[in-house]
Amino acid sequence: MVPRAVLLAALIAVTQLTGCAVFRSYDSELQETNQQLVAGNVDAALALLESNNKSDVKDLLYYFEKGELLRSKGDLQGSQQAWRVADGVVFEWEEAVKLDTEKYLSQFASYLVNDKVRRYQGYDYEKVMLTTQMALNLLAQNDFAGARTEIKKTHEREAVIAELRDKQYLKGEQEAEQQGASTEFKDLKGYPVASLDDPEVVSLKNSYQSAFSHYLSGFVYEALGEKGLAAPGYRTAAELRPKTPLLEQALLNLDGKRSKSGESDVLIVVQSGLAPARDSMRIPLPLTIDGNLVITTLSFPVIREDNSTARFGEVYLNDQAVSLTSLNNTSAMSRRALRDDMPEIILRTSVRAVSRTLAQKKLNEVDPLAALIVGIAAAVVEGADTRTWRTLPNQTQVARVHLAQGEHRLSLPAILGSGTLKVKIDQPYQVISLRVLGHQVFASGAAIQLPQPAQAPVLANLK
C-alpha cells in the first residue's frame, strides 16, 4: 500500500500541474500589453489585458494594471474604480494579518506550495504605491480632501507591513536554523548578486517606504493648512532620501510665508518608464537528500529592468529649464523586496525540492509509473513566481515652483520627442502629473489644456 504522505505529495504535484497559474506566463502577457502602451495604443493595451483575464473572478494584478492603463488614457474615474477594487483586496489582506499574524505567516511559509500558484497578494511597495497613485488621481482633479484620505491609508498600511515583516524575518531565521539550510543568495552560483547588492538597493531603509509618498503627504497636509501633519511627512521623506535639498527646503519653508496673492504653489510630478519584470532563473544547488549530497537545478526569481524610456532630469516651464528631483525608484524597491525575501524563497524552494525527491523515490519503489507522473508534474511546475505590477511607473521625479495664476507652457526634453503642453494654474496649491513612456507623454486633469502642434511623435493629451 502506498503511504498516505506519498499519495499526498503526488496529489499536490498533480494539482499544481493542472492549475491555470502554472501555465500562465504573466510576464509574456504584460510585455505585449506594455508594448502597446509605450506605442501610445492604450485601448489596444486594455483590450489585451481583458483578453488575458476572461475569468469572472479577477485577481489583484488585473485591477492594478487596469487602473494604471485607464489613468494613462485619462479616465481618472475609471482608474479610481479599478484601484478601489484592488484597495479592497489589500484591505482584506491587512485585516487577516492583524486578526492572526501567526496563522498568516504559517500559511505563507508553507513548503509544499510552489510560490507561483499562491494567491497573489502584492508586494509591499505595490500596496503602498497603490494608494499613492490613487491620491495622484484625486490631486489631478484638485481634490485635496480626497487625497488626504488615501494618504492616511498609506501611513496605516505601512505600519501593518512593518510589524508583519519584523515577525516574518525573525520566523524565517528560526526556520532556516531548524532546517540547517543556507539561505544566502550570495551562495547561489551564477545568480546576479550585484543587482541585489547595488548601493541604491542596500541604502533603502526597506522595500515599501517611498520618499515620494511621504513628500506628497506633506504637500497635501500643507495645502489643507495642517502644518503639524505636513512636517512629519517632509521629515520622513528627508530621512528616506538624505541630503536632498528639495526635501530639506520643504521643512524650512513650512513656517514661512504663503505664496503671494495671485500666485500658486505648484508641484510638478513626472513619472516615467515601467516597473521591472521578474524572470525565472535556473541554478544548480547542492542539497542533502537521504544522506547524500545531490546537485539539483532549481528556479529562483531575478529582476529584469525596463529600458523603454530614456532617462532625463529636467522639464521646461515657459521655455526655462527646471531641474527634477528623483524621489522614487520602483526598480530599487523591487530589488530590495527580492533581496529581503530571498532567504525565505531559498528555504521554501530547497525544502520543497528535498521533500519532492524523497516522495518520488518512495513512490518509485511501489509504482514507477506514478513516480514518473509526479516527476513530470514537478518539472513543469518548477519555476519562480514572475508576477508583479508591470505598468507601475518606474521613476517618480518632482519639481516645486511658484507660478502666477494663468496659463503656462510645459514641455519635456527633445530626446523624448514630445510637444508643448498648456497648463492652467488657478488654485493656491496645485499638482500637475505627467506620465512618460517611450516617446509618449500622457497627461490628464483639471489643469491640462489642449497641446500646441508638435512634431511627431506627438505629445498625447488624453484628458
Query: Whole-model pTM?
Result: 0.87
Q: Which residue ranges in the chain fall short of pLDDT 50?
A: 1-2, 6-7, 10, 13-20, 451-463
pLDDT at 149: 97
| Residue extents of the structural domains in the chain | 4-461
Buried b vs exposed e over 362-392: b needs ≥16 C-beta within 10 Å? Answer: bbbeeeeebbebbbebbeebbbbbbbbbbbb
Is the dihedral angle over the CA atoms 453, 454, 455, 458 positive or is it negative?
negative
Euclidean distance between CA atoms 244 and 240, whole angstroms: 10
Euclidean distance between CA atoms 248 and 205, whole angstroms: 18
For the chain, give me the number of helices (H) and strands (E)? 16, 12
- pLDDT, tens digit (0-9, with 9 covering 90-100), for 226-245: 999 999 999 999 999 999 99
For residue 276, the 8-state DSSP code is P
The class of domain 4-461 in CATH terms is mainly alpha
- pLDDT, tens digit (0-9, with 9 covering 90-100), for 79-120: 999 999 999 999 999 998 888 777 666 665 555 566 777 789
- pLDDT, tens digit (0-9, with 9 covering 90-100), for 27-75: 888 999 999 999 999 999 999 999 999 989 899 999 999 999 999 999 9
